[in-house]
Amino acid sequence: MKRIAVLASGRGTNLEAILEAVERGSIAGEVALVISDQAAAQALQRAGKRGVKALFINPRDYGGREQYDRAIVDQLKEDRIDLVALAGFMRLLSAYFVNAYPMQIMNIHPSLLPAFPGLDGVEQAFDYGVKVTGCTVHFVDEGLDTGPVILQEAVPVIQHDTVETLHQRIHASEHRLYPTAIDLFCREKLKVEGRRCKIID
């Protein structure tokens, strides 16, 4: 069974969706570790309630981004982690981290990449006036939201939407899509060829 680590900085709603999917048997793996860079992150509390190992690793204890990432990677190795799922983790990963887990780090982004990468993807799409946006699960590479796309789901922008109502619907989509992508990884159904991520029957 694949061992999953979730990295989160905030409320941990995607973490909650992943934990619930594991409990339902919808993910063929287990969440073995949750790490946050924020001591007060609600994600740590969500993990703790379910008896999942939850750690706050303070960036201020390290001399820079790579030193911090080395500490996290050391912890991941110690816990024999197979897949790292970023769930609202508000730090860019160093090349060291990415190379330590090649095509074993996933992220969920609230737009249909490559459109509207980076921060505030929902607001960017809304302000641009698109009629359809959505969310993307992708593997993480050294760029900003540039890794191979695993799954995407479209979310229409409704006439009377606000950024908040659109965000809510995209969140609901994320909570379906991310566990599905993680399960595909755990069942070894994903194959990356260049930029394409194929789902194996």
In sequence order, the β-bridge partners of residue 108 are 137
**Sign of the Cα pseudo-torsion (45, 47, 50, 51, in order):** negative
* Whole-number Å distance between alpha carbons of 19 and 182: 11
* Whole-number Å distance between alpha carbons of 29 and 10: 23
* Whole-number Å distance between alpha carbons of 167 and 3: 30
Residues assigned a catalytic role: 109
How far, CA to CA in Å, does 199 sit from each of 30, 85, 88, 94, 147? 21, 18, 25, 28, 16
* Whole-number Å distance between alpha carbons of 47 and 6: 10
